[in-house]
Amino acid sequence: MKCRVCGKPASISLKSYNTALCAKDFTSFFEKRVLSTINKYSLIDDNDAPIVAVSGGKDSLALWHIINKLGFPADGVYVDLGIEGYSDISLSKIKIMADMLKRKVFIFPMRNVIEKGIDDLSRTLRRAPCSTCGMIKRYAMNRICIEKNYSVLMTGHNLDDEASALFGNILYWKDEYLWKKGVLLEGRAGRLSKKVKPLFLCSEREAAAYAIINGIDYVYEECPFSVDAKSLLYKSILNRLEELSPATKIGFIKGYLRAAKKHKSAEGENEDREGGDCKVCGYPTYGEKCSICRIMEKFEVKNKFYFEEYDPCCLDSHKKIVT
């Protein structure tokens, strides 16, 4: 297979685009795709200070790499869930990238603050680890944005993540979640950060290829708690469909975005992100107290909520670099 742009041997075939590209042209293709998503959906404004939610996996590290390369200086935030033999490795990969980008990373040390790792906490709460993890991450990542004045939280959710979640919502007809997906979720001043997903239209295979080609050192191992996750099953079903009929996933998600736009204009924007503020910490919640404050109260944890900081440089993260 030859690269469609330069004619050299291709490194990756992209059947959904009916093309094949060499390493150099694929890198350029992928970065342009991310940039066009940012521009099309107005994910970053001129005055925005973005921060990337990093996990040590290919998607978030590739995103952090690209965003900085595209001229949007962005620090990182990592939620250390205290998973033995996994969280430490993830953090070491993140620090390698932080050193390379010369960007700061904030770390939420869950075990030190809540006095439990994700395994203990989910067991005690009788909640699935993935659901507990999501709750902690949403809270910590929003809080870092508000406390440190980052106006946009970027996550590495890719096309396959979105397609599998949508597939699950349709399969079990979860009407309450069905229309809540989007490339951009608006925030609420001083309380809830804007959330964006620049890899929304990039497949997981493309993100992995970008990471490999660009020498990004990421955690290959799967999170030990997600081994039986339904999302993995949905992803393999969707990939089977993709193999038989290329461009199924992108068609599914683009169709959803069109339908969601119509739904939102009929129902009103951001109905899903309304709600009150927690009477203890002041951050958004649907009840009187947020889940995290209820956990701290339940386990009589008196620790203050804090972030550790890994700063390999002296660059001011709120200033743009002219490239």
Partner 1 sequence: MKVEWDGKQYEFAKPMVVHRLLEELSLSKEAHLVVANNKLVTEDHKLEATDDVRVIRVISGG
Closest CB to partner 1 among residues 133, 295: 133
> Among candidates 122, 149, 147, 159, which has minimal Cα distance to 17?
159
Stretch that binds partner 1, among 67-75, 83-91, 185-193, 223-231 (CB under 8 A): 223-231
CB of 123 to partner 1, least distance (A): 18
Query: Tokens 């002296």 appear where?
Result: 314
Residue 181 binds to partner 1 (criterion: CB under 8 A): no
Residue 161: CB minimum distance to partner 1, A = 9
d(CA 38, CA 46): 12
Interface residue with partner 1 among 68, 132, 239, 285 (CB under 8 A) is 239
Asked if residue 59 binds partner 1 (CB under 8 A), the reply is: yes
CA distances from 86 to 92, 100, 164, 167, 270 (A): 10, 22, 24, 29, 35
Q: Which of 25, 38, 58, 98 lies at the binding interface for partner 1 (CB under 8 A)?
A: 58
By CB under 8 A, is residue 209 in contact with partner 1?
A: yes
Q: Tell me: does residue 171 bind partner 1 (CB under 8 A).
A: no
Helix 159-171 to helix 248-267 angle (10° resolution) is 70
User: Binding to partner 1 by residue 232, rule CB under 8 A?
Assistant: yes
In the bound state with partner 1, the residue whose beta carbon lies nearer, of 104 and 157, is: 157
Q: Which residue has the tokens 């929003």?
A: 142
Please identify, using beta-carbon distances, which residue of 75 and 204 lies nearer to partner 1: 204
Q: Residue 34 or 146: which CB sits closer to partner 1?
A: 34
Residues 248-287 within binding reach of partner 1 (CB under 8 A): none
Contact 75, 315 (CB under 8 A): no
Site membership for partner 1, residue 11 (CB under 8 A): yes
Nearest to 99 by CA among 223, 222, 217, 219: 217
107-127 as b/e: b if 16+ CB within 10 A: bbbbbebbebbbbebbeebee
Distance (Å) of CA 3 to CA 14, 32, 295: 11, 17, 54
Minimum CB distance to partner 1, residue 15 (Å) = 9
Among 62, 213, 292, 295, binds partner 1 (CB under 8 A): 213
Binding residues for partner 1, rule CB under 8 A, total 36
- Per CB under 8 A, 57 contacts partner 1: yes
Residue window 101-140: x/- pattern of binding to partner 1, with contact defined by CB under 8 A = -----------------------------x--x-------
Bridge pairing between strands 152-154 and 50-53: parallel
| Dihedral in degrees, nearest 10, Cα atoms 77, 81, 83, 86 | -10
23 binds partner 1 per the rule CB under 8 A: yes
Taking the complex as a whole, the smallest distance from the CB of residue 102 to partner 1 amounts, in Å, to 26
Q: Is 288 in the site for partner 1 (CB under 8 A)?
A: no
With beta carbons less than 8 A apart as the criterion, state whether 103 and 66 touch. Answer: no
Tokens encoding 182: 């989007």
C-alpha to C-alpha distances, 157 to 19, 59, 246, 261, 301, nearest whole angstrom: 24, 7, 21, 19, 32
Spatial CA neighbour of 292 closest among 128, 110, 153 = 110
Q: Is there binding between residue 242 and partner 1 (CB under 8 A)? A: yes
Residues that bind partner 1 (CB under 8 A): 1, 9-13, 20, 23, 57-59, 130, 133, 160, 204-205, 207-209, 212-213, 220, 222-223, 225-227, 229, 231-232, 235-236, 239-240, 242-243
